[in-house]
Amino acid sequence: MKMTAMSLHTITIHEAAVRLARKEISSVDLTRAVLSRIEEVEPRIRAYLALLPEDAFRTAEAADARRRQGKARGPLDGIPLAIKDNLCTRGIETTCASKILKGFVPPYDATVIGKLRAAGAVFVGKTNMDEFAMGSSTENSAFQQTKNPWAQDRIPGGSSGGSAAAVAADACLGALGSDTGGSIRQPAACCGIVGLKPTYGRVSRYGLVAFASSLDQIGPLAKDVEDTALLLAAIGGHDSKDSTSADLPVPNYRAALARGVKGLKVGIPKEYFVEGMDPSVEAAVRVAVRTIEGLGAEAVEVSLPHTEYAIAAYYILATSEASSNLARYDGIKYGFRAEGAKDLLDLYQKTRSEGFGAEVKRRIMLGTYSLSAGYYEAYYRKAQQVRTLIKGDFDRAFERVDVILTPTAPTPAFRLGEKVDDPLQMYLSDIFTISVNLAGIPALSLPCGFSPEGLPIGLQVLGKPFGEETIFRTACAYEQATEWYRRRPPL
């Protein structure tokens, strides 16, 4: 199919890489098409907090020059990507969608940013998010509300809602997000794209502004499974700057895509098909399971008995770590500083009161309480013990199966404002994703259908630690057997 310059924004990363290699298009053409698309849809979607057109064109011109000299750096050279605004970018403001970091310009790049720069990627902008990645709807941003490209009265998911919306709206070819309890996978499901939370330690966290350090993981959001594999290959690997980074080689994920699912055992956890789940979600996921069986896999029921305790354990552990990590924002070192303080203590109080939003304050207070004298044993220690039990559930299940299939979220994207006054209902949006972070395992969400209202539904594929290859095999086989991933929102 012949493409016009104006439709280049619709292609995938791997399609763009082929066209660039054949010199059918240039990186400047591609970047111009993406920036034009952003200009067209951004007033309706509001996915970006900052656009970087000058940097983008400069990087694109350098990529084209390399290609003319026969020195292209690989499949991401000259590809326009978006970056979640909690990843440090040298010389570019990084706010975490919080007033308290307004004006903060990092003097260094996150490791993943450095790796993408080395691969020749073009950064078109920094995307909106829930403040400090705390949320499931991107409604907690201090600056703006991102909307779902499929229905602009709906949330895009969170906390990586800006990245997911940008990919779904063809306002970039791929993006990076971060996932602490579902913040890549849930927005991917809401926006009808692919999102991967890698194994804890597969991708360096150096330069990711911390929310909960034992749970956070950076990962890709993309239009299809192959693009997701390309992005993970670029950002994965050991980093001496991150003590939790695993010293393991990065496999050739792309080579795993064509292996299919014949002979694989896929686990179906009975605890993930619960009362209160949207009927269209359950129906779409069950049809997806049958499709994967039809491709040669064997479905096996498994049990993850401690799933019911996951949300309680997560919201103690994550808030405890947030309380500790966010203590550094005091108005002294960088970012926002309140005016009119009488003394140092008053400066701390005013800065944090004015700089943090309601949800961040809520989580800091929850975490501080959980860690306080007299409550540590009852809450934090108990939650760590539950975490161990949840990991044990997965270990036992993966002795019997190669991957586990679940819904990504219990409902399609809900309406803006629908849950903002009910934190518990909002927290329940992550009921199917949180256990993965507690256990440290990898998981991917990809489209598997639509609700009666035309909203995307996500299928979640869970793997063994560092088992991303098997996840990609399973997801790619399913994706290629269906047409869901080809659908684009009617923008």
Lookup result for tokens 């129906």 = 283
Residue 414 has pLDDT above 50, yes or no: yes
Structural domain includes residue 38: yes
pLDDT of 5 reads 64
Burial of 430 (0-12, 13-18, 19+ CB in 10 A): buried
pLDDT in tens, 5-53: 658 999 999 999 999 999 999 999 999 999 999 999 999 999 999 999 9
Structural domain includes residue 454: yes
pLDDT in tens, 144-176: 999 999 999 999 999 999 999 999 999 999 999
Go through 126-153 and write b for each residue having 16 or more CB atoms within 10 A of its CB, e for each that does not: bbbbbbbbbbbbbbbbbbebbbbbbbee
Structural domain includes residue 353: no
Structural domain includes residue 84: yes
The range of the structural domain enclosing residue 163 comes to 5-308+388-486
pLDDT of 273 reads 87
pLDDT of 237 reads 98
Structural domain includes residue 425: yes
Largest CA distance in the chain: 70
Query: For 125-146, what is the mean pLDDT?
Result: 97
Structural domain includes residue 152: yes
Burial of 243 (0-12, 13-18, 19+ CB in 10 A): exposed
pLDDT of 405 reads 98
Structural domain includes residue 330: no
Residue 1 has pLDDT above 50, yes or no: no
Residue 113 has pLDDT above 60, yes or no: yes
pLDDT of 491 reads 87
pLDDT in tens, 76-111: 999 999 999 999 999 999 999 999 998 999 999 999
What is the domain-level CATH number for residue 114?
3.90.1300.10
Known catalytic residues? 84, 159, 183
Q: How confident is the model at residue 459 (pLDDT cuts 50, 70, 90)?
A: very high
Number of domains observed in the structure of the chain: 1
pTM of the predicted model, to two decimals?
A: 0.97
CA distance 204 to 208: 9
Of the chain, the percentage scoring pLDDT greater than 90 comes to 94
Structural domain includes residue 357: no
Residue 371 has pLDDT above 50, yes or no: yes
Query: For 313-323, what is the mean pLDDT?
Result: 97
Query: For 228-234, what is the mean pLDDT?
Result: 98
Structure tokens given for 284: 């779409």
CA distance 11 to 9: 6
pLDDT of 448 reads 98
Query: For 272-301, what is the mean pLDDT?
Result: 95
